[in-house]
Amino acid sequence: MHPALHLSVDGGRAALAYPGDTVTPPLTSAWQSLRLGLHLLVGFLLALVVIDSVREAGPSRVPTLLVAGLLAAVYVAGLLPVVRRSRPATLVWLAVLVLTWVVLMLLTSEGIWLAFPLFFLTAYLLPDRPAALCVGLLTLAAVLGFGWHRHELTVGTVIGPTLGALVALTTVLGLRLVERESARRGVLEERERLAREIHDTLTQGLSSISLLLGAADSAVTTGASSEATRHIRRARDVARDNLDEARRFVRALSPSDLADASLPAALGRLVEKTRRGDDLTVTLDVSGEPSPVPTAYDVALLRIAQAGLANAVTHSAASRVAVTLSYMDTEIALDVVDDGRGFDAAATPVRTDGSGFGLAAMRARAEQLGGRFAVESGPGEGTAVAVTFPLSAGGGT
């Protein structure tokens, strides 16, 4: 089997994503920079704890090193798919991480500085109000920890953690606010686009029909039956064209494959249509329990699967394509992976024949609905396309 067939959406994000991560584009680069910065900060602060413990001999030296190692292990465990895909597992992971930090903070004053990345992590993973409450509790713990180690509470020991907490909350909640506003504007832009298309096609067509029928009525009144017949025929042609245009709009908003079938069934039919005997093997794997999700997600996932398979057939010269649809507690994901010739994902060229826009269109479709889109490929290494949409706590709808 070609190595690219082992690629998956989790493999592409494990280095940058936290468990239970439901934060979504369009501010992808900002979120990724924040995640990477927190990873580096946690590693740096843990290294300081270890160095300080090694330098200072004392009864708490060994326990401090053990707890620091345990905290590092717990933090890294949060990147595992088995933890990331379950909301309850995410909350348990966060609770264990915080408790481990509290123990480390009691053992050494250096551990208190880890409160700063924990502020960001808690604000990042929890909804707005619970995040504010939990960050407040962490701030209180950090202040008390400072006071316990220094045997007094000063203005500095209170202001330091408080300012750190405010910076974390302001940053994360500010990014979320900008993200929501971007998504709202995206919806408005799509409405404007549809309004323009309807105005330029259907509205103009209906106006033409009205004028032609008025002319036919006048021709009948004056006894010019042949001219009336000609106007009526032209009106009928315009009506037929408008009907085709209306059907095109309906198909674009709700594919016919989903009209009488679920998304897994529609993907199954798509896979069957794409197979070409011995030349191309296409498989579909559905993991998890299928559950209702927003219709827009179904449409986007089917369209992205169609585009991904079309790319594999047209450009990749693949012999195997694996399509995976995953229903998880907090998200639904689609992977399309082929063993074809691949390409340089960092510098995708726009072909002179007008093709080459498929990946950009897939990314735009996913991000418009608040989804995550990722591509992994390399010359001779096949291609993996992955898209993920977040689901609400109560289900997909």
pLDDT digits (tens, 9 = 90+) for 205-223: 676 777 778 878 888 888 7
How many Å apart are CA 225 and CA 11, to the nearest integer? 72
Query: What is the pLDDT averaged over residues 4-33?
Result: 45
Is the pLDDT at 187 greater than 60? The verdict is yes
Query: What is the pLDDT averaged over residues 23-34?
Result: 59
The per-residue pLDDT for 240 is 79
CA 138 to chain centre: 29
Higher pLDDT: 176 or 253? It is 176
| Secondary-structure percent of the chain, ordered helix, strand, coil, rounded to 5 | 65, 10, 25
Question: Smallest Cα–Cα separation from 23: which of 296, 390, 291, 366?
Answer: 390
Model pLDDT for residues 71-83, shown as the tens digit of each residue: 999 988 888 877 7
* Whether 366 contacts 387, CB under 8 Å: yes
The per-residue pLDDT for 285 is 92
The per-residue pLDDT for 351 is 47
* Whether 25 contacts 367, CB under 8 Å: yes
The per-residue pLDDT for 16 is 36
The per-residue pLDDT for 327 is 92
Confidence of residue 354 (pLDDT cuts 50, 70, 90): very low
Q: Is 284 in a helix, a strand, or coil?
A: strand
* Tokens describing residue 349: 């060229």
Model pLDDT for residues 267-324, shown as the tens digit of each residue: 888 888 777 555 678 899 999 888 888 888 888 898 888 888 887 877 777 888 999 9
The per-residue pLDDT for 313 is 75
Query: What is the pLDDT averaged over residues 326-338?
Result: 91
Model pLDDT for residues 46-72, shown as the tens digit of each residue: 888 888 877 876 777 888 889 989 999
What is the C-alpha R_g of the chain? 29
How high is the mean pLDDT of the chain?
77
* DSSP-derived secondary structure for 350-390: PPTTS---HHHHHHHHHHHTT-EEEEEE-TTS-EEEEEEEE
The per-residue pLDDT for 227 is 83
Higher pLDDT: 16 or 389? It is 389
Sheet containing 331-338: give its strands across.
281-287, 320-327, 331-338, 383-390, 372-377
Question: Smallest Cα–Cα separation from 309: which of 325, 323, 326, 327?
Answer: 323
Higher pLDDT: 33 or 388? It is 388
* Tokens describing residue 259: 């009209």
How many Å apart are CA 168 and CA 132, to the nearest integer? 10
The per-residue pLDDT for 278 is 55
pTM greater than 0.85? no
Model pLDDT for residues 124-145, shown as the tens digit of each residue: 888 888 888 999 999 999 889 8
On the question of a cis peptide bond just before residue 59, with omega within 30 degrees of 0, the verdict is no
How many Å apart are CA 35 and CA 18, to the nearest integer? 8
How many Å apart are CA 258 and CA 390, to the nearest integer? 20
The per-residue pLDDT for 200 is 55
The per-residue pLDDT for 10 is 35
How many Å apart are CA 114 and CA 138, to the nearest integer? 11
